Amino acid sequence: MHEVTCPHCGKAFTIDEAGYADIVKQIRDREFESELHERLDAAEATKKAEIELAEAKVARELQAEASKKDAAIQELKAQLDAGAVSQKLAVAEALSAVQAERDALANELEKTQREREAAADLAEAKRVNELQKATAGKEAEIQALKSKLQAAGSEQQLALSAAVGAVEKERDGLKSSLERVELEKKLAETSLKDKYETQIKDRDDAIERLRDMKARLSTKMIGETLEIHCETTFNQIRATAFPRAYFEKDNDARSGSKGDYIFKEADESGTEIVSIMFEMKNEADTTATKKRNEDFLKELDKDRNEKGCEYAVLVSLLEPDSELYNSGIVDVSHRYPKMYVVRPQFFIPIITVLRNAALNSLTYKNELALVKAQSIDVTNFEEELDSFKTGFARNFDLASRKFQTAIDEIDKSIDHLQKTKDALLGTNRNLRLANDKAQDVTIKKLTKGNPTMAEKFSDLNKGES
């Protein structure tokens, strides 16, 4: 038998060996449970601190990334509002970056939530398991104590009731702690979810604003945006890379059509190195009828030939999903000679490639030009000699014909003068004969055979006497 003193009332009572062993076991179990709960609490606090630290770190990183992306979006928006030279490209890049960021944030949020939920579920399951084990043990102890209370006396019943009350109180505390942990976990999940949903909504709103801005751009503005981008890109390096280059819009539409820009470059002596006709093509994402690069090659080749350019380049954002055109500089010389299709990022490289190739052949061009000039000189001399011969022959023929005409006219004049001479000689002979006849006339001859006239002359002679 053992004597035991009640800690509440101070009354001593005796119990047998079995009862004493049970009470000692309960005391040892209580100390073990107390230590177990302390370790569980410490583990829970450590786990909670680690989760909060991880969540805070993830939140800071996401916030930093969000701030960077927000700054990038604001900068892109400012460039769009100020009429930046690359509205279409900036909009596309901004949409893609923001969408990628949104997807990344969503994926990271989902991953973080899964990891946090998995860690929380694991810790919770572990804790619940331990609490269930502890509760089951306590329930078993309570049932055992109740059984002993039924068999023990009133003094033992008081001591056992106190022990049962303490165990039930501890169990209720554990249940309250479990419920509090569950509530805190739900609140943390709700807060984190609301936070990231707000960030995602802000980015969705930014994407929608950019899409609206992009939709408001007319087709003409979209095309002009690509032209302005290319012109600005060229002007940024014109002074250093192309100091003697000509790069201006093609405004000559006398033939009925025109390209967008003409690039020409010459050396110090004025010999042309290279000339390129550029055409820029773009369209809105919402355009119902999508154009193809192939649709513009024929017109570009026509413009190149009419303006006397050596090369033709189509700078295009059409067919954005084409692996062929997205791969780099596309040579379409099999369709039209010396023609290429490029994306805007290859605008400067294609000029550089063609210019460098032309520089390598410039020596041969100069030699060919010299040979052509010499050939032209010989040809010009031969042409001038042939022209002189032809002119001399023509003039000689004209002079010969005129000389013969003059001789003929002289002959005619001689004939005419001879006839005039003969006529004059004939007149002189007739006048001499007439004079001879006049000298031979007498009054006797006049009145011979005319008695009237004889009588008149006779009367006339008498009157004079």
242 vs 240: CA distance, rounded Å: 6
The three-class DSSP label of residue 294 is helix
- In this predicted model, what pLDDT tens digit does every residue of 140-151 receive, in sequence order? 666 665 566 566
CATH of domain 224-373: 3.40.1350
**Closest alpha carbon to 247 in 165, 168, 315:** 315
Domain residue ranges of the chain, discontinuous segments joined by +: 224-373
Neighbours of 203 (CB within 10 A): 20
- In this predicted model, what pLDDT tens digit does every residue of 72-120 receive, in sequence order? 767 766 666 665 555 556 556 656 666 676 677 667 767 766 776 676 6
- Return the axis-axis angle of helices 17-81 and 154-216, rounded to nearest 10°: 10
How buried is residue 188: exposed, middle or buried, by Cβ count under 10 Å (0-12/13-18/19+)? middle
Share of the chain above pLDDT 90, in %: 19
Q: Which of 55-69, 121-135, 147-161, 406-420 has the highest mean pLDDT?
A: 406-420
Task: Lowest mean pLDDT of 147-156, 161-170, 174-183, 422-431, name the range.
Answer: 147-156
Neighbours of 443 (CB within 10 A): 13
- Find the mean pLDDT for residues 171-181: 73
Question: Tell me, what's the pLDDT at 389?
Answer: 75
What size, in residues, is the chain? 465
pLDDT range class, residue 297, cuts 50, 70, 90:
very high
**Closest alpha carbon to 190 in 115, 117, 105:** 117
Neighbours of 255 (CB within 10 A): 11
DSSP state of 237: H
105 vs 66: CA distance, rounded Å: 9
Rg, the chain, Cα only: 63
- In this predicted model, what pLDDT tens digit does every residue of 199-210 receive, in sequence order? 788 877 777 776
pLDDT range class, residue 258, cuts 50, 70, 90:
confident
